[in-house]
Amino acid sequence: RKSKEWSNMLKSLKATALSVGSDLDEIWMTLEKGRLEWLGAASSAHKIKELLKNALNNQCGGGAMDGDVSDAKMIWMYSLSLSIPDLDKEAEAWRRAVDMKDKNRPLVCYKPELWDCRKEEWAPLDVG
């Protein structure tokens, strides 16, 4: 941005985009919206991420089993989805699928047998 050619480059880029029917401002705003949502989700799910990491590190026997790691990742990903407005319906469908009573407390009455990533309701949260 400090380069004296910066504005010329932007003009050329916008002209090229316009010539092929591409709306750079819309693309940029979509990317920016996603970036801000991700930052918000990562921040709001940080506490549960740390809780899960500590639980995995402190398991009896000194090491987490693969299934435990997978479950922890799913819980964290679900927690991320709670802060992404476009995933409200999908997060609610997952909450019902795993019989979660309080959407903000996925570990309360946690039923690991229900947290199966092969369930149809999980796919939208996995893709995000």
Q: Is the pLDDT of residue 60 over 70?
A: no
Task: For 11-59, write each residue's pLDDT tens digit.
Answer: 999 999 999 999 999 999 999 999 999 999 999 999 999 999 998 888 7
| pLDDT given for residue 59 in this prediction | 75
Rg for the chain, CA atoms, rounded: 21
Residue 67: the pLDDT is: 81
* Residues 6+ away with beta carbon under 8 Å from 3: 9
Q: Read off the pTM.
A: 0.78
N-term to C-term CA, the chain = 33
pLDDT at 3: 83
CA distance 102 to 123: 21
Query: How far, in Å, CA of 39 to CA of 30, rounded?
Result: 14
pLDDT tens per residue across span 77-124: 999 999 999 999 999 999 999 999 999 999 999 999 999 999 999 999
